[in-house]
Amino acid sequence: MNRMLSIIFIFLPTHLFTLSLVGFVTAAEKPNIIIFFADDLGYADIGVYGCKDIPTPHVDAIANSGVRFTDGYATHPVCSPSRADLMSGMYQHRFAG
């Protein structure tokens, strides 16, 4: 019984302290993540990466105010496995059988 009480007296304040810290996280601290997933969109097809033929002012504004990723890896030559991967959260080699 004493052991149970000591566990409760240790766990309860620690748990309450942890829960009180959760309230300090505001919505402004959470990251906004936007994933552009388009068929046949090449690296140089957006103005921010050097395309002069196709105006993309809104995408350029988003890219200039955030983080841009310049390297990617696709395990399949068509978009359908990548799309299923993104929507399901599973790796592409897990889809078979």
Residue of 61 and 20 predicted with greater confidence: 61
CA 46 – CA 79 distance, rounded (Å): 19
Q: Is the pLDDT of residue 27 over 60?
A: no
pLDDT at res. 82:
78
- pLDDT score at 61: 92
pTM of the model: 0.51
Q: How far apart are alpha carbons 14 and 7 in whole angstroms?
A: 11
**pLDDT at res. 36:** 79
Q: How far apart are CA 94 and CA 97, in angstroms?
A: 8
The two tokens of residue 16 are 């309450």
pLDDT tens, position by position, 30-86: 777 888 777 777 778 889 988 999 899 998 998 898 888 777 777 777 777 877 888
| Token pair listed for 36 | 């552009």
What radius of gyration, in Å, describes the C-alpha atoms of the chain?
23
